[in-house]
Chain A
Amino acid sequence: MEKRGRKVLAEFAERFDLPADIVAGLPHLEMVGSREVYLEQHTGILSYSEERIDANTPAGVLRICGEKLRLTAMTAQELRVGGSIRSVEWVAL
Chain B
Amino acid sequence: MFPRPIQQAPAPARWLYAVALPVALLLWLFPLLGVALTSLRPASDLAQGNYFGMPSAIAWSNYVEIFRQSPIARYMLNSLWVTVPTVIGSIALSLMAGFALAVYRFPSNLIVFFLFVAGNFVPFQILMVPVRDMTLQLGMYDTWYGLALFHIAFQTGFCTLFMRNFIRALPFELIEAARVEGVAEWRIFWFIVLPLMRPAIAALSVLVFTFIWNDFFWATVLTQGPDTQPITAGLSALNGQWIAQWHLVSAGSILAALPPVLMFFLMQRHFIAGLTLGAVK
Partners in one complex: no
Which chain A residues have a beta carbon within 8 Å of chain B's beta carbons?
Answer: none
